[in-house]
Chain A
Amino acid sequence: MPFDSFELIRLHPTHDFGEFSCGDNEGEKDLNDFLLTSSKSYQKELLAVTYLLVNKQETIAFFSLANDKISIKDHESTKSAWRRLTGSNIHYLKRRESYPAMKIGRLAVSHKYKKQGIGQAILNYLKQHFIDNNRTGCKFITVDAYKDSLGFYEKNGFKYITTSDLKSDTRLMFFDLTLIYNAIQP
């Protein structure tokens, strides 16, 4: 898919979306609704920022990003808390109870542009971006994925975060950026 005529822009509060539809099933309708009715509110509340892939006035795709973290409470973290209190000098990586992440809150491609690799290109852009321009530390990309798109994220290396959302409309998944970082080390 040639991107030469497209632009990637950050959502502006006065942006006119025009028409956008990524499809008609339940999840897709919700994604359309998110862009048209919620994306600006998330941005105004400083909860997520939406980016648009546009061709002149037409919205090709969008994605909304938020800061995230993956926190763990288990035997290891209990042990590490004790060690911290007692001043044990265990290596800092061993005692972490949370890891910085970036969440893809929503990502959708217009139905007119599906099956052209745009969604995957966006994921790859984000993966590399958070390696090359990782200004504050980000180890994982997380995503709140609709059921219909689980296969897409699996194909792109994402794993499930929890089994507690098996029956939910969306499932939380993560991608470990270490896999890319290791690949590009000399």
Chain B
Amino acid sequence: MAKPIKETPVLRRVDAKNFRREMEANKDKSISPAEALKIRADYEKIRAISKF
């Protein structure tokens, strides 16, 4: 039997602190234009073959 998909725990103490810090830092960050183009291109490629 395969391992069950792990549930995401409630974050406390240092995990909570790190997560809030990361989220705060990301507020004004973005991926590069080249990365954004690559993500968009891959999305369109797979969307085009999606059958649902």
Contact = CB atoms under 8 A, between A and B. Distances in A.
The answer to whether A and B come from one shared complex is yes
Given A64-B5, A172-B6, A182-B28, A70 B11 contact: yes
Given A125-B47, A169-B3, A172-B6, A71 B29 contact: no
Contact of B42 (A120, A159, A179, A183): A120
B5 A69 contact: no
Question: Interface of chain A, helix or strand or loop or mixed?
Answer: mixed
A181 B36 CA distance: 10
Nearest to A76: B20
A121 B42 CA distance: 5
Interface residues of A, number: 63
Contacts, number: 143
A58 interface: no
A38 B5 CA distance: 10
Contacts of A7: 49-51
Contact of A162 (B9, B36, B38): B9
Contact of A170 (B3, B20, B22): B3
A8 B46 contact: yes
Given A124-B42, A164-B15, A72 B5 contact: no
A159 B11 CA distance: 14
A33 B11 CA distance: 30
A74 interface: yes
Q: Give the top 6 A-B pairs by smallest Cβ distance, nearest first.
A: A128-B43, A124-B42, A182-B30, A105-B5, A34-B2, A74-B16
14 contacts: A7-B49, A72-B12, A74-B17, A76-B20, A99-B23, A101-B8, A103-B5, A121-B45, A124-B41, A125-B47, A128-B42, A142-B8, A161-B8, A178-B27
Interface of B: 1-3, 5-6, 8-17, 19-20, 22-23, 26-33, 35-36, 38-43, 45-52
Interface of A: 3-4, 6-10, 30-31, 33-34, 37-38, 42, 47-48, 51, 53, 64, 66, 68-74, 76, 99, 101, 103, 105-106, 120-122, 124-125, 127-129, 132, 142, 144, 157, 159, 161-165, 168-170, 172, 176, 178-184
